[in-house]
Amino acid sequence: MSRADEPKSADTGVPKMSDTGVPHAADTRPPGTTTNKRPTSPLWALALFRSELTTTLRRWRTLALLGVLALIPILIGVAVKIETSDGGGFGGGRGGGGEGPAFFPQITNNGIFLVFASLAATLPVFLPMVIGVITGDAIAGEAGSGTLRYLLVAPAGRTRLLLAKFTTSMAFCLIATLVVALSGLVTGALLFPLGDVTLISGITVSFEEALLRALGVAALVALSLVGIATVGLFISTLTNSGIAAMATTVGLVITAQILDTIPQLHAIHPYLFPHYWLSFADLLREPVYWDELVKNLGLQGLYVAVFGSAAWARFTAKDITA
């Protein structure tokens, strides 16, 4: 779903009238003299980004996807509450074996763990699929609806428009992550007790420090998604079909996740964008383990550099009249 085509004014051949009712004089400037172009100030570039972000967030599809993300922590919290209502423990936590930290059993002790459990549950599939849908449609959706050519009028230009689409995608990664985190925090506060938090390493910290760590975890999860977001933007420049771009991006997410679970392919695992996603749990240790956190950020930066450059090269040479 993209912007509706704006109506185009017809050229009737009649001289345009000024505010006083007098026709404008014909352009008598010497040949080769150019008209004054609208300045491409940083404020105008910011307005373009704001317009792209507002358009994305106002779409019903986007609101529906964010609603689903907000619902997941609620469902997890209610499920844990029901299972532990008889005084028993929760047995659905994920343990070792590279499957992620066991946050679920800790939810009943402290509601803030619902934030971490929700992010751990949505990061492998739901969050990247939502990002894939949004970024896959960024360019292809505009091209398919015919609005792309109108977006490329001066002073926007292809590079500035692509940069606006990219920054919008990065902002949406943060927004989607915060939706999950805030929903988990509110649900956890309503259903479970809050207080001092015992970290994975066994150290107890204050609730205020735990909130800061939760904010850091949300930021790390958002940064973990920038790689697939850039890949989706690149795929979006390859086709004029928004549905095809979205399906390809989501399919790539699923394929990478499957490849990352095959032991025989361990040699390529460190180069797959989802390989270090669950390393955000290392921020809940004291001291913090930075090794895999840095590797994750470096890998995402590499994907941004490679596929961002590829998207720029493709988009600047794209025939938008085809």
Residues 275-294: pLDDT tens digits?
999 999 899 988 888 999 99
pLDDT band of 15, cuts 50, 70, 90: very low
Q: What is the mean pLDDT of the chain?
A: 81
153 or 32, which is more confident: 153
In this predicted structure, the answer to whether residue 3 has a pLDDT above a threshold of 50 is yes
- 1, 141 contact by CB (below 8 A): yes
- 1, 63 contact by CB (below 8 A): no
Q: What is the pLDDT of residues 156-212, one digit of tens each?
A: 678 888 898 899 999 999 999 999 999 999 999 999 999 888 888 888 899 999 999
pTM (predicted TM-score): 0.80
Phi, psi angle pair for 12, to nearest 5°: -90, -5
pLDDT of residue 6: 44
In this predicted structure, the answer to whether residue 133 has a pLDDT above a threshold of 50 is yes
In this predicted structure, the answer to whether residue 64 has a pLDDT above a threshold of 90 is yes
pLDDT of residue 31: 47
Secondary structure of the chain: what % helix, strand, coil (to 5)?
A: 60, 0, 35
pLDDT of residue 138: 83
